Amino acid sequence: MIGPSTVWTLSIINGVAYGSLLFLLAAGFSMIFGVLKVINLAHGSLYLAAAYLTYSLVEAGTGMVVAVAGGAIVAALVAALSERFLLYRLQGQYLAQVLVTLGLLHIFADVFHGVWGGTPRVVQVPDIWDWSVPMGVMSYPAYRLFLIGCGLTVALALWWLLERTRLGSIVRAAVDDEEMAQTSGVVVPRLRWIIFGLGGLLAGLAGGLGAPFLGARSGLDLEVFLLALVVVVVGGIGSLGGAYLAAMLVGVIDSVGKILFPEASMFMLFLPLLLILLFRPSGLSGRVLTHVVPVSRDTRGSKEPEGFARRLQPWVERARTVPAWKVGLALLAVLVIFPMLSSPYGVGVLTLILIWAIVGLGFNVLLGYAGMPSFGHAAFFGGGAYAVALLAKYWQGPSWLLLVAAVACMTVMAAIFGVLALRTRLVYFLLATVALGQLAWGVMFKWRSFSGGDDGMRLGAKLSMPGVPAESSSAFYYAVAAVFFLVCVVFYRLHKSHFKRVLQGLQGNDRRLSALGYDTWVYQFAAFVLSGTITGLAGALFAFHAGFVSPQLLGIVISAKIMLITILGGAGTFVGPLLGALVLVGAEEFVTRWTSHWEALQGILFISVAILAPRGLAGAFNRLFPERSDKQT
């Protein structure tokens, strides 16, 4: 009979073995983040690439040692090349870097699925480690003890590299004071690809060694990355010892939490991350980032249009003089007439575009006006969807009242999240929103008795426009169109308001505005709450549209889509989010009809926007056709 002490012992050792893998992954990420200030969302993809390559090489008969080495070297080369050809030109623009690495994440995921399919792959444990250590009435796999030894060995090797070599002194100097290191000639382009290559090597080593333990499967890249992010922040950015200690803690918490509190295990993992960000950004033994450039802005002056653009300039100027109320009436007419001229499929696509345009308008307040990038806004989108589903389950009220109640819930949620997230700044704000978003995702994913877990929930309620027959195929479309039009009117007024100008001023010099008597925190809090509320409204509409909600709606992929819509169209402009939703959702709907590789194409779109069009479509239009007045498109 297995006693409680044996179960606890096995659970803790499992946690330490898992923590050893997380340390290998987090150590490289910590150096990249600490020295280069890059949040490499594709770091987990390097882990998964090495795991898949290790599997294929072992199956080909190369042996485990050669397979692990090959996977680690490939991961190092991919990391170094991505830094040299993509990330190098975006130094200091951390939001653009996030988009590029997120694009790589999508591309890698599509490649993995195309080459290895969706079936999980597990590498056979090498014969030399395919035995067990007696432990009471049970035995423990020797390979997992080997992983613990590998983690400790790599930790000691990295300590020697960082503390006893010239490269280590350069890295430590860059982490301690980046600006001073730059003026001293320490941080050079060569250091960037060396750090990226070393980080990729460690991620690849973790993937190869972890292949017999965790295997290789779709989604594992994002899962291990998020845990590595917890390790880095809890341990302290740039701190090797802190990362090792935090990795052990996270591994044990994950292992023990799944036994004691299975429905709250994800909450237990991301709660420490949030607490550290709020009360001790330096982590257990790290340092606060000394300098992070906020959302990049294109400061190049507008030029006079040339060629064909010059000939079009008078027509563009004339269009800009059209009164806003006439444009609004034209938009309303298009929304009303469209279902009469289009097929049900076209109406469905436009419905989705309008929903995501509402999301973009809401997120634009936070990112475009206030310059505060959130990477956890899916919490409000998915939260609005779940709020409708749960309210419909326990309260059989009218659909419009369900919608209003769900929006009210998201307002409260946004206020709570705003109070917490606004204790941080710049990149720490971005990480705090990630932690809050993952907490919300973990609750819905694990709390099966409440939310249905990964099985999701069905929504039987229907939303229709009053006066339109509920059985009409366009009933829901007109309801969404009415909400969209109302949101556009409100946000157009906001775009011209003093509130927007104050938010934009906060991007440049919040201390100066504070000295002038503005309560900057109140303005930022109002922007956060308004943004979360409108995003929750769109999520509730999406729930009525889909008739089904799942934890994926709260995931980081949805947060990335929200960010891309706003940036693609043009953050800070009024029409930008509308253009972004039209292009991205329209492309997704039509491209997926012709190819199954939409995820890779979406990744290419992420990278292209970050590098070629940082100001988005509306910004590029304003550059091509500069205004001759103070108006903004």
591 Cβ contact list (under 8 Å, min separation 6): 598, 601
pLDDT of 299 reads: 40
- CA-CA distance, 230 to 208, in Å (whole number)? 21
- Cα–Cα distance, 230 to 272 (Å, whole number): 8
What pLDDT, on the 0 to 100 scale, is given for residue 182? 61
β-strand partners of 135 = 138
Cα(175)–Cα(162) distance, rounded to whole angstroms? 11
Give the per-residue pLDDT at 54: 95
Helix %, strand %, coil % for the chain, to 5?
Answer: 75, 0, 25
Chain-centroid distance, C-alpha 270:
15
Can you read off the two tokens belonging to residue 517? 């008597």
Instruction: Return the domain boundaries, the chain.
Output: 17-218, 308-624
Looking from the CA of 349 toward its CB, the CA atoms found within 13 Å total 18
DSSP conformation class of 575:
S
pLDDT computed for residue 265 by the predictor: 63
The pLDDT of residue 527: 94
How would DSSP label each residue in 419-432? Answer: HHHTTS-HHHHHHH
Look at residue 298 in the predicted model and tell me its pLDDT.
42
Which residue(s) pair with 141 in the sheet?
A: 132
How far apart CA 452 and CA 447 sit, in angstroms, is 7
- CATH architecture, domain defined by 308-624: Orthogonal Bundle (1.10)
DSSP string, 290-329: S----S----PPP----THHHHHHHHHHHHHTS-HHHHHH
| Token pair for 321 | 């003089």
574: amino acid identity, one letter = F
Q: What is the DSSP string of 232-280?
A: HHHH-TT-HHHHHHHHHHHHHHHHHHHHH-GGGHHHHHHHHHHHHHHH-
Cα distances (Å, whole numbers) of residue 528 to 377, 411, 431, 432: 10, 10, 15, 13
- Structure token pair of residue 609: 């926007």
Residue 549 tokens, joined = 């909600």
d(CA 206, CA 25) in angstroms, rounded, equals: 6
Q: Are 52 and 112 in contact (CB under 8 A)?
A: yes
3-state secondary structure of 468: coil
Residue ranges of the chain whose pLDDT lies below 70: 1-6, 92, 136-137, 172-189, 261-267, 285-313, 315-316, 320, 467-473, 508, 620, 623-633
SS3 141: strand
